[in-house]
Structure 1
Amino acid sequence: MTVEHGETSSAQPLIPLHCLRHAEPGPPRLTALPNGTPVWLATRHADVRQVLTDPRLDRATLFAPDAPPTSTGPNLLDDPEGLLNIDGPEHQRLRRTVQRAFTPRAIARWRPWVETVIEELIDDLEAAGSPVDVVAGLTRSLPIAVISRLMDLDGVDLQRLGHWSDHALSTSAYPAEQVRQAMREFYAFSEQLIADRRKNPGDDLVSSLLLAAAETEGVTEGQLTAMVCGLVVAGHETTMTSFGNALVQLLSEAPEAWARIAVDLADATAASEQILRAIPLSDATALPGLLRRAVADLEIGGVAIAAGSVVAADIRTANHDPEVYPAIGPLDHFAPLGTPSLTFGAGPHHCLGAWLARMELELGLHRLANRLPGLRLAGPLEEISWREGLLTRSPASLLVAW
C-alpha cells in the first residue's frame, strides 16, 4: 500500500510511514509552512545536503528580529539557546562539550550494557504473555532506560521524562499553554539536575558535560539547561520512532527479512541502515523539512535563493532520490548503502546521538527477532494507534503476538 507523501483521507487519516509514496525530487520550489510563511523546499539529495552544510544557510537567524514566523506553537526546538539553533564558532565550542560522549568508540563501550537492557525487556515481554504492547514494553522503554542510565537518573520518574519529551516536540498535540507549562517543569528539572551534579559529580553524561563546560569559555547556564533537556529528548526519540515504525513494516510485509535479522547481527545492522533511510521519522503534516535561513544570496540546484529566505531540507524525499538510491520493487533491507542517508542530517548539526540510535535499533531488532521469531502484529494496520501532532510519528501502542 502506498499513499502520496503528506496525503490523508477521511477513511484512513493516518497510514504507516513506510506506505508513503514520495514525490519525485526536483529543483527547489517555493511553497509555504503550515503557518503560511513562504519557504523554499529542497528535495534532491545533493540539494538537501547543500542546505544542511552550506555556511550561507543557518539556524540562528531564524530567530532574528526580522525573521518571519516559522513555528505554529512552542516546542523545544524553538529555544534560541539550544544547540540546534546556534551556529559558527559558538556552536562548535558548545558541541565539543558533549560530542566526546557520543563517539563510536564511546558507544562501543556501552554495547554490552545495552544488550543486557534489551534482554531484560524482552524477558518482561515474554512474562507478560501474548499479546502485548511492544511500544510500552520495548520500543519506548529501551531508549529511555539507556539515556537514563547514561545521565544517572536513577529514581527519576521515567514516565514524567516521556511526558516532557512528547510536549517538547509538540506541534498540535497539546494546547500551547500546556506545552509551555511542561517546558517550564522540564527546564526546572534540568536546572536542579545541573545543581546537584555540581555538588556531587559522578561518572555520568551530565557531570561530563559540566566538566567540559567549565573548561570552555562562554557557556551560559541557559545553554547548559537547554543541552540537558535536548539530551533527554534526543536520547530516546529517534530510537523509539524508528524502532516502532520498523516493526510495523517488518511484521506486516517482510517475514523473510525478519528471519534473517534473527540469525545474523550483520544483517540486522544492514537492515537498520535501510530502515533509517527508507522509513521517515515523520510525515509532511507538521513540517516540510529541517529549516534554515539564507544569510546571503546563493544558488541551490540552479535556483537563486535570496538572502533572508527560509529554506526547508526535505530529508524524507532526499532519502528516496532515485539518482542516489535506485528503487527496484520492495525495500531490500540488506542492500548496502552506497551513499549515507541524510536521516541524521549532515554538516555542523549532524545528530550527536546517531551512533547510539543505530546501536539500539540494530541490537533491539536482532535480539527481538532471535528471541521471538514468530512475532506478528496482533491486529490490522488500520487499527494502529499513532502518536499524532508531534514532529515525529510512530505507533503510540502496537499489539504483537507470538
Structure 2
Amino acid sequence: MSTKEKVFQSQFKEGAYPFYEELRQENPIFKMSKVHNQTTWMVTRYSDVKELLKTPSFLKGFSKLYSNGNEEGIEQNIFRNMMLDLDPPDHTRLRKLVTPYFNPKTISSLSPRIDDIAKELVEEMKEKQGPVDLIDEFAFPLPIIVISELLGVPPEDRNSFRKWSNTIVTASEGEHPQFSQDVKDFVAYLDDLFERRRKEPKDDLISNLIQAEEEGEQLSRNELYSMVVLLIIAGHETTVNLIANTIYALLQHPDQFNKLKEDHSLIESAIEEGLRYYSPVDFSTARWVEDAREFHGKTLKRGDVIFASLTSANRDEQKFGNASIFGIHFCLGAPLARLEGKIAIQHLLTACPNLELAPHTSPAWRKMFLLRGLEQLNVTL
C-alpha cells in the first residue's frame, strides 16, 4: 500500500503526527506515490506550505494542463467549477459573488440565530438517557442548519439536504454505493430550487447567486451547482470537525479544559488552538505543477500533483514553540466556523459543566484524505 493510499486510513490519522515530524526533519518535500509519469508530492513544513499556497505557478485548475475529454457526467460537473479548484480570474469572479455573505458584519448578524440553534440542540441532548454522540446530536446538526438557512433551503427539505451533503463528503472516504444516485437526486432538487428562486427570489444566498452578475457575466448552471456544493463542505463539514475536534482535545487535556470552564473569555483562544492542534482540514486541495521546476531540493515535473499538509504545518516546531502541546497557539480559519465553534462551546460549558468522554470510549478518526474528523464522540453530560 502506497503512502497516498495509507492516508485514507483511520490508523494513519491516529499516528500521523510522529510521521509528519520525521518528514519535516528528514524529507519535507515527500514523494507520496508515482503512477506512470506523474508524481504526487506532500509538503510538510510551515514555510514551504505557505510558499506553495502563494505561488501562482502551482495551479489549482488542472484543466490548464489536461483536457477534460468527453467526461461530462453530472457527478463531475458539480465539482468541476468549485472555487477551490480554480485559478484567477475565474476564482476571483466567483469569490466576489459570495464575499458579502461572509464579511464580519454579516457573520456577526448571524450570532443570535446560531445561539438559538445551539441552545435548542443542547437542551435536546440533555434530555437523552446515557451517553450521547456529540457529533450526531450537536456538532453535525448545528452547522447544517446554519448553512441551510443561509442558502435558503426550506426547513422541510433539510433532512434530504443533510443526506445528500453527507454523501458528497463521505465519497472522499472511498466507494460510496449511493453516490451516483444521490448526486442525481441532489442536482434534480437544486434545479427545482433554482427555478423557484428565479421566479420568486427571497433574501437568501441562492436567490442572490441566481440574480448576480459580475462584470456582465451570469453564473452558469454548473457554477451554481459547484458553489452550493462548496458551501456545504466549507460551511458545514469543516465546522463539524472544528467543534468535535476541539472538544476532543479539551477532554484529552483536563487542565486546559478546567481553565476554560473557569474563564469563558478564553473560548476564542481555545477555538484557534483547536484549529491548529487537530486541524479540521488535513490537506489543501491539489495543486498542479505548471512547468518543471526545482522546489526545495526536489525536481517537480509538469503535471505533477502536490498537496500541502496543513496538519503538519500546524505542528511545525520551527513555527510553533512546543508544537505538540495543546495550549496557546494561533492559526487561520473561517469567521463563520469560528463563530459557530465559539457559540457551540460556550453553550456546552454553560449547560454541561461535567462533560466527559463516555467510559470505555476510544474515538477513531474517519477514513478521509483532505479532512480530519472523528467518526463518533460519545460523551456523558
The interval holding the TM-score normalised by the smaller chain is: 0.7 to 0.9
Deviation track 1:153-199 (CA, whole Å, cap 9, x = no partner) reads 23343332232222213134443x63122222222222222111111
Deviation track 1:94-135 (CA, whole Å, cap 9, x = no partner) reads 111112101122111111221121111111112224422222
**How far apart, in 2, do the equivalents of 1:263 and 1:206 lie?**
42
For the residue of structure 1 that corresponds to 2:81, the secondary structure is coil
User: What is the aligned residue count?
Assistant: 369
1:277 Cα offset (Å):
1.0
**How far apart, in 1, do the equivalents of 2:237 and 2:168 lie?**
11
**How far apart, in 2, do the equivalents of 1:36 and 1:81 lie?**
26
**How far apart, in 1, do the equivalents of 2:19 and 2:75 lie?**
27
For the residue of structure 2 that corresponds to 1:359, the secondary structure is helix
**How far apart, in 1, do the equivalents of 2:109 and 2:15 lie?**
32
1:317 Cα offset (Å):
0.8
For the residue of structure 1 that corresponds to 2:155, the secondary structure is coil
1:309 aligns with 2:304: yes
> Which deviates the most, 117-126 or 179-188?
179-188
For the residue of structure 2 that corresponds to 1:184, the secondary structure is helix
1:294 Cα offset (Å):
1.5
Deviation track 1:227-249 (CA, whole Å, cap 9, x = no partner) reads 12222232210111121222222
Aligned equivalent of 1:348: none
CA contact (8 A) 2:139 2:244 kept: yes
Q: Which amino acid aligns with 1:296?
A: D
For the residue of structure 1 that corresponds to 2:20, the secondary structure is coil
Aligned equivalent of 2:276: 277
Question: What are structure 1's unaligned runs of at least 5 residues?
Answer: 68-73, 345-353
Q: Which amino acid aligns with 1:401?
A: T
Aligned equivalent of 2:158: 158
**How far apart, in 2, do the equivalents of 1:109 and 1:76 lie?**
35
1:330 aligns with 2:330: no
1:309 Cα offset (Å):
2.1
**How far apart, in 1, do the equivalents of 2:50 and 2:16 lie?**
25
For the residue of structure 2 that corresponds to 1:21, the secondary structure is helix
TM-score by length of 2: 0.85
1:206 aligns with 2:203: no
**How far apart, in 2, do the equivalents of 1:36 and 1:247 lie?**
43
**How far apart, in 1, do the equivalents of 2:264 and 2:326 lie?**
19
1:93 Cα offset (Å):
0.7
Q: 1:370 aligns with which of 340, 350, 374?
A: 350
CA contact (8 A) 2:260 2:266 kept: yes
**How far apart, in 2, do the equivalents of 1:125 and 1:187 lie?**
33
Deviation track 1:38-82 (CA, whole Å, cap 9, x = no partner) reads 212211112111221211011212674369xxxxxx977982222
Deviation track 1:339-365 (CA, whole Å, cap 9, x = no partner) reads x34xx5xxxxxxxxx111111112211
1:196 aligns with 2:196: yes
Aligned equivalent of 2:242: 242
Deviation track 1:292-311 (CA, whole Å, cap 9, x = no partner) reads 01113444334443332221
Deviation track 1:222-269 (CA, whole Å, cap 9, x = no partner) reads 111221222223221011112122222222x22232233334443111
CA contact (8 A) 2:284 2:370 kept: no
**How far apart, in 2, do the equivalents of 1:115 and 1:88 lie?**
37
In structure 2, relative to structure 1, the CA distance for the partners of 1:35 and 1:210 (3 Å cut) is farther
Q: Which amino acid aligns with 1:52?
A: L
Aligned equivalent of 2:125: 125
Q: CA RMSD, aligned part only?
A: 3.2
Aligned equivalent of 2:29: 28
> Which deviates the most, 201-210 or 153-162?
153-162
CA contact (8 A) 1:43 1:318 kept: yes
**How far apart, in 1, do the equivalents of 2:64 and 2:287 lie?**
11
In structure 2, relative to structure 1, the CA distance for the partners of 1:254 and 1:75 (3 Å cut) is farther
CA contact (8 A) 1:265 1:363 kept: no
**How far apart, in 2, do the equivalents of 1:192 and 1:317 lie?**
43
Aligned equivalent of 1:268: 267
**How far apart, in 2, do the equivalents of 1:381 and 1:20 lie?**
21
CA contact (8 A) 1:75 1:167 kept: no
Deviation track 1:188-224 (CA, whole Å, cap 9, x = no partner) reads 2222221111111111111222232476415211111
Deviation track 1:304-348 (CA, whole Å, cap 9, x = no partner) reads 43332221111111111111112266311xx243xx34xx5xxxx
CA contact (8 A) 2:187 2:225 kept: yes
CA contact (8 A) 2:172 2:368 kept: yes
More helix by percentage: 2
1:48-127 aligned within 5 A = 48-61=49-62, 64-65=65-66, 79-127=79-127
Q: Which amino acid aligns with 1:300?
A: F
In structure 2, relative to structure 1, the CA distance for the partners of 1:36 and 1:245 (3 Å cut) is farther
CA contact (8 A) 1:122 1:368 kept: yes
Aligned equivalent of 2:286: 291
**How far apart, in 2, do the equivalents of 1:134 and 1:35 lie?**
44
CA contact (8 A) 1:77 1:84 kept: no
1:372-391 aligned within 5 A = 372-382=352-362, 384=363, 387-388=366-367, 391=370
CA contact (8 A) 1:16 1:248 kept: no
CA contact (8 A) 1:17 1:282 kept: no
Q: Which amino acid aligns with 2:88?
A: G
Q: Which amino acid aligns with 1:54?
A: T
In structure 2, relative to structure 1, the CA distance for the partners of 1:134 and 1:41 (3 Å cut) is closer
Aligned equivalent of 1:350: none
Question: What are structure 2's unaligned runs of at least 5 residues?
Answer: 69-73
CA contact (8 A) 2:286 2:307 kept: yes
Q: Which amino acid aligns with 2:322?
A: A
For the residue of structure 1 that corresponds to 2:212, the secondary structure is helix
